Homo-oligomer: A and B are copies of this chain.
Amino acid sequence: MKGYSVIGKRVPRTDSLAKAIGSAKYFADITLPRMLYGRILRSPYPHAKIVNIDTSKAKALPGVKGVVTGKDTAGLPYGVSSAILDEYLLEIDKVRFVGDAVAAVAAVDEDTAEEALTLIDVDYEILPAVFDPFEAMQEGAPKIHDQVERNISARAFMHTGNVDQGFKESDYVYEDRFTFSRVSHVQMEPYGALASYDPVGKLDMWIPSSCLLIKRTALSYLLKMPLKDLRLHECCFGGHFGGRTDCQSAEFCAALLSIKTQRPVNIIYTREETMSVSKHKGNFVIDLKMGIKRDGTLVAEDAKLVMDGGAFASSWVFQVWVPYVYSEARYNIPNHRYEALRVYTNKSSCSMQRYHGDQLIFAEEQMLDKMAKDLGIDPAEIRLRNAHKAGDVLHSKSKITSFPLSETIEKAVTASEWKEKRGKLARGHGIGLACGAGMTGFQMGFRANATAIIKFNEDGSATLFTGVVDVGAGNHSMMAQVVSEELGIPMSDIVLVCSDPELTPPAPGEYSMLAAFTTAEAVRRAAVDAKQQIVKVAAPKLDVEPSSLELKEKRVYVKAYPERWIPLASIIRAAYREGNGIVGKGSCTARAMSEAGWADPLRKKYEGQHAAAYTAGTTIAEVEVDEETGEVKVLSGLPAWDCGVPINPMAVEGQWEGAMVSALGETLYEKHEWDEKTGELVTASFLDYKIPTALDTPSITPIIVEAMESEGAYGAKEAGISGSTGVRAAIANAIYDAIGIQIKENPITPEVILKALAEKSEIKRVK
């Protein structure tokens, strides 16, 4: 970017060396003296009353130092939203899925802990279970939570215009059902937690998480322990993808066991445990209906979604609201109705996962390709005709301040040689295009605020305190870039203290995609605050006004006379000497956070600023389909995406490459399955659950489409998960181009392809 020294530059990440040479401390690297190992006893039944738990034999096993059950807890339920608390991290009177936690053991080693689990006798009274969300909504279905009618966990509903009238006014109307598998986040590092209780009343914990500020609040409530007694430490961890957001039984049990034993307790889940009991990405069933005019103008959309939510509310109504955000953001469809239900079932529950909600995009974008075909309009063109643009106000009354959807289509089309290829490749080869969207920031109460502090060392280096979390995307480096830019010191001169709520002021962490938008802006403001203090001290020494000074290359310069300068370190020391310690503070809460928006999720209609900013993008994929075997190979991917203004283009591109590979996995391979009788997940290992390997990765050519976002730091906004949202549909549309069939389910396995070929599957036109 012009005018900046570091911002907008392709800078290597500050943590690369530590990760490359193995110095970075990942969660599993942390051990403490006298540490015990914990294991959790889990329900073998999908739905049962706990009649009695006898832990006496387990306690008597040599090497066992502590056993806890629900009776040892304060009996409080947990919820991601404080509005709905329905999850017991250690169940008290009943279990709701196979894997629900009923007891936990701490022992001198894992084998002893594991053996102790076999010595715990639990008397269950088995209850009827339900696994399908539609069955769960039937009258007379087993009630998973006593107070909840028809097992409906949450409902999101929006209706703008008049959809029925819209369909009447449409020339063509299409309708079809789309289904999706449940998938796991598949982080390379399993879940875990380490707790170390000091009998003075202080609990230190290490939890790999997207936001320790929020974890601390939850654990403080569950453990009945004041915030100041809970120190949550940052550590590196092997992957997040939205999955380390909810509190886990590991965290709660490690804490309880450490308090009980007064020794550190480490619980690390096995891969199978991580797959079985951690939250999944919800498996939607989507009934979509869209109407269009002959000229390619979209007139109406009616989307009905049902999501298998599993045993607990987890992210609750937010999960069934997100698809709407992506849907309303992309195209101007005057009549739009959306209803999504989240339904309890006796399975592990579902939460947020990277690009949650892209399922609806898969349906919509394929329907658009079918419309384009029927109307004889180029798929890119039909999207351009309906695309939203910056300044538009959405149905929800959200204003989109930057949204270069059309530009991303145009750049993707040009870069991919779309016009030369689309419909012109050999049979079995195809190219597909789909638009996606993303959002930055939604309502999180005070937790949406980011505050940052910068403290200077006497040599001009500095420590930055921020609650930002780096899940691997480079957020730490980004914050160092901001400080470096504003204060004219090298990134390597900045020590980062991140995500340790005892030390760091609030920040949304990795929640709500706010790092580049809000946290970076808070850091920028803290740096500007420090800069103002610095130039005030320097000005009399250089005999100019403070405003005449700038900070560069570890010096304070007179802008107009660059030969006049003082080392920054001298000014810092002078400031301290004079009693003006340089401490910068910055605070930022994004627009959507402070406005009413849909802040009250219990309202029937969610009007207001849904997200602080919206991201637009287009993904083009080329595929090869083997019509004999049904195998699909993605040859190349071209994400042309908006990220506002990139703070580090290299990091942005890396995110979009990851986004494509991740979405490709869900599209083609990933699927969880349950034993219908026992309710047990049968795909809990990498033997049964397939993810893409490096060999399945296409060549990816990211294109950054800059769009100044007035609300974000330096014009930046989210640049990560949104890049995944068009991938499913782009691959499906490429398959359509390659072999003329449309796919209505994910993953698109060879069997699905062969079945679709047999059925000559296309989306149904009903008018």
Contact A585 B587 (CB under 8 A): no
Contact B17 A200 (CB under 8 A): yes
Q: A21 an interface residue at 8 Å Cβ cutoff?
A: yes
Q: A222 an interface residue at 8 Å Cβ cutoff?
A: no
Contact B449 A581 (CB under 8 A): yes
Q: Count contacts on A: residues with CB < 8 A to the other chain.
A: 60
Q: A236 an interface residue at 8 Å Cβ cutoff?
A: no
Q: A459 an interface residue at 8 Å Cβ cutoff?
A: yes
Q: A391 an interface residue at 8 Å Cβ cutoff?
A: no
When the two chains form the complex, which single residue of B502, B506, B583 contacts A585, counting CB atoms closer than 8 Å?
A: B583
Residue of A522, A574, A587 contacting most chain B CB atoms (<10 Å): A587
Q: How far is the CA of A447 from the CA of B574 in the complex (A)?
A: 10
Q: A128 an interface residue at 8 Å Cβ cutoff?
A: no
Q: A576 an interface residue at 8 Å Cβ cutoff?
A: yes
Contact A505 B583 (CB under 8 A): yes
**Contact partners of A217 in chain B: CB under 8 A:** 458
**Contact partners of A17 in chain B: CB under 8 A:** 200
Q: List residues of A (420-455) whose CB comes within 8 Å of B's CBs.
A: 445-451, 453, 455
The smallest beta-carbon distance between A67 and chain B, in angstroms, is 24
Contact A226 B579 (CB under 8 A): no
Q: How far is the CA of A581 from the CA of B636 in the complex (A)?
A: 46
Chain B: which residue is nearest A32 at the CB level?
Answer: B33
The smallest beta-carbon distance between A227 and chain B, in angstroms, is 5
A-side interface residues toward B, CB under 8 Å? 17-18, 21, 23, 31, 33, 198-200, 217, 220, 226-228, 445-451, 453, 455-459, 461-463, 465, 492-495, 497, 501-506, 522, 572-574, 576-581, 583, 585-589, 593-594
Contact A199 B23 (CB under 8 A): yes
Known contacts: A198-B23, A461-B228, A502-B495. The answer to whether A587 contacts B594 by CB under 8 A is: no
Q: How far is the CA of A577 from the CA of B596 in the complex (A)?
A: 12
**Contact partners of A572 in chain B: CB under 8 A:** 446
**Contact partners of A585 in chain B: CB under 8 A:** 581, 583, 585
Interchain Cβ contacts under 8 Å between A and B, 8 examples = A18-B200, A228-B495, A449-B576, A449-B581, A451-B583, A455-B505, A506-B581, A522-B581
Given contacts A228-B463, A503-B503, A579-B594, 18 further A-B contacts (CB under 8 A): A23-B198, A23-B200, A446-B458, A446-B572, A446-B573, A446-B577, A449-B581, A451-B581, A455-B505, A457-B501, A463-B503, A495-B502, A497-B502, A497-B503, A576-B587, A578-B589, A580-B587, A581-B585
The smallest beta-carbon distance between A645 and chain B, in angstroms, is 21
Contact A457 B198 (CB under 8 A): no
When the two chains form the complex, which single residue of B492, B502, B505 contacts A581, counting CB atoms closer than 8 Å?
A: B505
Q: How far is the CA of A31 from the CA of B264 in the complex (A)?
A: 14
Contact A463 B23 (CB under 8 A): no
**Contact partners of A451 in chain B: CB under 8 A:** 455, 576, 581, 583
Chain B: which residue is nearest A586 at the CB level?
Answer: B581
**Contact partners of A23 in chain B: CB under 8 A:** 198-200
Contact B227 A458 (CB under 8 A): yes
Contact A587 B577 (CB under 8 A): no
Chain B: which residue is nearest A497 at the CB level?
Answer: B503
**Contact partners of A228 in chain B: CB under 8 A:** 457, 459, 461-463, 492-495
Q: How far is the CA of A455 from the CA of B461 in the complex (A)?
A: 21
When the two chains form the complex, which single residue of B200, B463, B580 contacts A21, counting CB atoms closer than 8 Å?
A: B200
Q: How far is the CA of A445 from the CA of B578 in the complex (A)?
A: 10
Known contacts: A445-B573, A451-B576. The answer to whether A458 contacts B506 by CB under 8 A is: yes
Contact A583 B200 (CB under 8 A): no
**Contact partners of A459 in chain B: CB under 8 A:** 220, 226-228
Q: How far is the CA of A589 from the CA of B228 in the complex (A)?
A: 30
**Contact partners of A495 in chain B: CB under 8 A:** 228, 502
Q: How far is the CA of A23 from the CA of B503 in the complex (A)?
A: 21
Q: How far is the CA of A104 from the CA of B199 in the complex (A)?
A: 38
**Contact partners of A448 in chain B: CB under 8 A:** 577
Contact B501 A579 (CB under 8 A): no
**Contact partners of A447 in chain B: CB under 8 A:** 458, 576
Chain B: which residue is nearest A24 at the CB level?
Answer: B200
**Contact partners of A453 in chain B: CB under 8 A:** 453, 455, 583
**Contact partners of A589 in chain B: CB under 8 A:** 576-579
Contact B576 A446 (CB under 8 A): yes
**Contact partners of A576 in chain B: CB under 8 A:** 446-447, 449, 451, 506, 587, 589
Q: How far is the CA of A731 from the CA of B163 in the complex (A)?
A: 99
**Contact partners of A227 in chain B: CB under 8 A:** 457-459, 461
The smallest beta-carbon distance between A687 and chain B, in angstroms, is 33
Known contacts: A18-B198, A506-B576. The answer to whether A226 contacts B461 by CB under 8 A is: yes
